[in-house]
Structure 1
Amino acid sequence: MKRLFYATNNLDDAESISDEVHKLGIDDHHFYVLSRDDSGIKSHHLHGSSNIDKTDIIAAKKRAKIMSFGISAIIVAIIALSTNTLNSQLLWAIFAAICAYVVINFILLITGGSFDGYFKSVINERLDSGEVIIIIDVEKAQSKKVEQQLDAHAQAQFLADSSNLASPIPD
């Protein structure tokens, strides 16, 4: 799935955008609003929160852990399949794969954490200025249709897109 981030001026615009994307087949569990106005979110019948730090919807760190584990598992599998017997070479290879996991995980966590921090600061800055952030999870096949709909919406400003792997929209 693909995650789309948009900004708009107020909750009325967010509600209008919500209605538009719902007509395209996006349900409430794939549409999320961030606004400092908790009562406004409820009165507009939107699924959302006032604080991005409570949502964990930006999860570059989690994706980094998954990727580093996957890369290390591939290294171990390749070494195990190329070695006939359990001997000291295999044990050293497994040790090397574990070390690779630690190094890859460290590098990816630093870069992922940097992205998380930067993007959260951008979102918080916009929220503090009174804007509303809209987060939409779409299937790849739906993404072009939703993006075209929102590009045509005068009040929707595209911010970014990413994967939603390891960071589901909160219930």
Structure 2
Amino acid sequence: MKCIYFLSPTLKCTQEVSDDLHAVGVNDFYLHVISKDECGLKKQHIHSANYLETLDVIRDGFIGAALGFIVGLIGVSLLMYFKPFGPTVEVPTLVYAILVGAATLFGAWEGGLTGIATENKKLRRFHDDIAAGKYLILVYVRKHQEETVRKMMQERHADAELVAVDSHFINPFTGVDRVSQSTTQNTVQSTAPRM
């Protein structure tokens, strides 16, 4: 599944794009719009993005969990080396596993809290456009739908610019490929029937 990013200039255009995407088989679960005008999206019944898409909770949570795991391993190693309870006290392995697990969970929690305060890394390049009042449309498509969606958008919504494609939005560590306008035109021309 891919995530295709379109940048729409107005709410009216976004509503038309949403309606046409529904007509080609993309339901609300796979269509999310990011805008500073949340009220306008609600009034037009356009499915807005959720916090997992707009904030860096998942990415920072994973990073925090990894750091917590490493800190937990270092802490357990130090406990095993220095034996603070005495050389004769045998600490069960389960206690060490619980300590590493607790450090990992604490790191994930701290990372998630950091992520709540951070804009999603994949959306940073569109921050100025969204702040200027444009609408970023995220369309999740399966392989068999991708060409249909791209062709429909090129033919019916030239004002909604194809700006990027992601292999999948949910993976927080993948990059977003920016799409040039010539690439978009070549893709649509290659799918057009030849006479």
Give me the TM-score of the superposition, normalised by structure 2.
Answer: 0.51
What is the rounded CA distance, in whole Å, between the counterparts of 1:58 and 1:38 in structure 2? 15
**One-letter amino acid of the counterpart of residue 148, structure 1:** K
1:97-139 Cα offsets, whole Å, 9 max, x none, are: xxxxxxxxxxxxxxxxxxx63x422221111111010000011
Partner residue of 1:77?
A: none
Structure 1 contact 7–159 (Cα < 8 Å) conserved: yes
**One-letter amino acid of the counterpart of residue 135, structure 1:** L
What is the rounded CA distance, in whole Å, between the counterparts of 1:10 and 1:43 in structure 2? 14
Structure 1 contact 57–167 (Cα < 8 Å) conserved: no
Partner residue of 2:53?
A: 56
Tell me by how many angstroms 1:58 deviates. 8.6
Partner residue of 2:127?
A: 124
- State percent identity of aligned pairs: 24
Tell me by how many angstroms 1:61 deviates. 4.9
Aligned length: 113
What is the rounded CA distance, in whole Å, between the counterparts of 2:167 and 2:144 in structure 1? 14
What is the rounded CA distance, in whole Å, between the counterparts of 1:143 and 1:56 in structure 2? 20
Tell me by how many angstroms 1:2 deviates. 0.9
SS in 1 for 2:53: coil
Structure 2 contact 2–166 (Cα < 8 Å) conserved: yes
SS in 1 for 2:133: coil
SS in 2 for 1:55: helix
Partner residue of 2:146?
A: 143
Partner residue of 1:30?
A: 30
What is the rounded CA distance, in whole Å, between the counterparts of 2:54 and 2:40 in structure 1? 21
What is the rounded CA distance, in whole Å, between the counterparts of 1:167 and 1:56 in structure 2? 10
Q: Which runs of 5+ in 1 are unaligned?
A: 66-115
What is the rounded CA distance, in whole Å, between the counterparts of 1:166 and 1:154 in structure 2? 27
Q: Which runs of 5+ in 2 are unaligned?
A: 64-119, 173-195
Cα–Cα, structure 1 residues 38 and 165, in superposed 2: closer, same or farther, change >3 Å? closer
**One-letter amino acid of the counterpart of residue 121, structure 1:** R
Tell me by how many angstroms 1:154 deviates. 2.1
Alignment pair present for 1:12 and 2:48:
no
**One-letter amino acid of the counterpart of residue 136, structure 2:** I
CA RMSD of superposed structures (Å): 2.7
Tell me by how many angstroms 1:56 deviates. 2.9
* Larger relative contact order, structure 1 or 2 (CA cutoff 8 Å, min sep 6): 1
SS in 2 for 1:134: strand
Structure 1 contact 7–131 (Cα < 8 Å) conserved: yes
